[in-house]
Amino acid sequence: MHGIAAYQRLARISSAQIYRLRATAAYRKRNATYEPTRPTVTAIGERRRPEPNGRPGYLRIDTVHQGDFEGAKGVYHINAVDEVTQWQVMAATPKISELWLIPVLEAMIGQFPFLIRGFHSDNGSEYINYDVSRLLGKLLIEQTKSRSHHSNDNGLVEAKNGAVIGKHLGYGYIDAQHAEAITGFYRERLNPYVNFHRPCAVPEQIHLGNGKIKRVYRRWATPHQLLQAVPDCEAYLRSGVRAAELQARAAAQSDTEAALAMQEAKRELFRHIGRKTA
């Protein structure tokens, strides 16, 4: 024990006794130091769940990162889903700084056929910042953010991350330089396919009492069909968009034809990226 008597005495103390001593209030008071987390206080976005009340135009948005490789960041996917109709628009960006993200968000908002009234995200700094707040304010879009201890606040878009983006783009690393090609694939093929030709489950809420709600899924419909089912849906469309034009776009291809065209475009994208399709 290096000739130190204190070490000889400590060697005879069992590990269990040391743990018991460390658990006492006296030990913690003298030897443990705690520093609470210092939250960043920001007035951007209201911390609450949006209430669309059956109206389209309330987006849930999230970011999906396509991995790292040897210190290099992969591409970022931006996923936006309307809560009422499940209309989905996706895009990609090499970085999620404001310089890159703002033009992507503007282009995505312009792809929705209806006016956007709400923008809900988690508390990530890519969305909770003054640049995004100014963009939404200019467009008169309400910004909200997820609440603490409410993990399902953004559950709709998080489910679509895996069911759509993960399914079609996979989970392996994709270099950020391919963001433009991926955005083109989304805009020209995948976004139209999921909105006009891919049915999704429609939740039906059953109130069980005591404030509890059960969701059952007995109906399947495309986002376009769900938009058509909104009472007076024409009133929610953006200027220059007509319900008849959306119907003509949906009828231009069968669901099978649209799926085959999307799959061929995906194979071409992966040839460009240098990856095999799943």
Q: pLDDT per position in the chain (278 positions), as tens?
A: 456 776 677 777 887 777 787 777 776 666 554 445 444 456 787 888 888 999 999 999 999 999 888 888 999 999 999 999 999 999 999 999 888 999 999 999 999 999 999 999 988 888 988 999 999 999 989 999 988 777 777 888 999 999 999 999 998 899 999 999 999 999 999 999 999 999 999 988 888 888 788 888 889 999 999 999 999 999 999 999 999 999 999 999 999 999 999 999 999 999 999 865 54
Token pair listed for 10? 């400590």
Largest CA distance in the chain: 92
Which fold would CATH assign to domain 57-273? Nucleotidyltransferase; domain 5 (3.30.420)
**Encoded amino acid at 23, one letter:** A
Cβ atoms of 70 and 164 closer than 8 Å: no
The stretches of the chain forming alpha helices (DSSP H) are: 5-11, 15-22, 25-31, 98-111, 130-138, 155-160, 167-169, 179-185, 191-196, 223-228, 243-251, 255-273
Residue 213 β-bridge partners: 207
d(CA 116, CA 118): 6
- Whole-model pTM: value is 0.80
Tokens 């849906």 found at:
233
d(CA 115, CA 141): 9
